[in-house]
Amino acid sequence: MTGVDVLIVDDQAPFRSVARALIRLLPGWRVVGEAVTGEDALTLALGDRPSMILMDINLPGMSGIEATRRILAEAPDMKIVLVSTYAVEDLPPDAVSCGALAYVRKDDLTPALLRGLPV
């Protein structure tokens, strides 16, 4: 797979740094932007139209779940992967119904896992 543009959305700088490093390991993948709030994610996603968004669930202001819902209402083909530290059984109920492509625990995020997602 080549040409995957990724938007990273997380309010924690250490996670954004790790995600950037993981994406750099994948040929053809690149980070095209970063956001720390759901509102910024919405603006960047609809403006830049990345191939994939790594979206934290818990963000200041608009949650990642609500940002995902709003982005997909405007761009239904966009691929959004929710990321957080929740165990799957502890996910907020609306995480399942917001339209995200997948949920990945932050600790499980690897280049191989990213490469295996349908983009």
Is the separation of the CB atoms in 6 and 29 below 8 Å?
yes
Average predicted confidence (pLDDT) for the chain:
93
pLDDT tens digits, 94-110: 998 999 999 999 999 99
What CATH code is assigned to 8-116? 3.40.50.2300
Residue 31's nearest CA partner among 22, 20, 41 is: 20
Chain-centre distance for alpha carbon 18:
13
pLDDT tens digits, 31-84: 999 999 999 999 999 999 999 999 999 999 999 999 999 999 999 999 999 999
pLDDT over threshold 50, residue 1: no
For residues 105 and 99, what is the distance between their CA atoms, to the nearest angstrom?
A: 17
Sequence ranges of the domains in the chain: 8-116
pLDDT over threshold 70, residue 17: yes
pTM: 0.94
